[in-house]
Amino acid sequence: MNELISRIATLLYEKKAQQIVALDVSALTVITDCMVIASGRSAIQVRTLADQVEDRLAELHIHPLRKEGYQEGRWIVLDYGSILVHLFHTEEREFYRLDKLWDDGTNHIPLPFEDDEK
């Protein structure tokens, strides 16, 4: 599963997503095992990020079980079962603070490009 999380996060990174975070929430909820959370600067970019993830994973025959929020492009959720991908417009991300809600201080999943951002 960490390989898929890394792939999703890298796809988002390549499309200039901001504040990409991956969290293992398996001990905190039964709805999913992991969350990947990222932001875009506009509704168009948020939709582009969702399209990128969905299209590239479809090439691997991995399809979301559900997709919510695409039309508005303010908060899109791609549900891959064990992984939820949350793509926010920056304003919604600041308001909902989802990554703060689910981060218990020990469940951060390292991403391959994090050293590049420092």
Total count of domains within the chain: 1
Q: Is 0.85 surpassed by the pTM of this model?
A: yes
Q: What is the CATH number of the domain that holds 103?
A: 3.30.460.10
Nearest to 80 by CA among 49, 57, 48: 57
Q: What is the pLDDT along the chain (118 residues), one digit of tens a residue?
A: 789 999 999 999 999 999 999 999 999 999 999 999 999 999 999 999 999 999 999 999 999 999 999 999 999 999 999 999 999 999 999 999 998 999 999 999 999 888 765 4
Backbone angles phi, psi at 88, to 5 degrees: -115, 150
Residues sharing a CB contact under 8 Å with residue 88, sequence separation 6 or more, in sequence order: 37, 38, 39, 40, 46, 74, 75, 96, 98
Q: At what angle do helices 43-58 and 2-14 cross, to 10 degrees?
A: 140
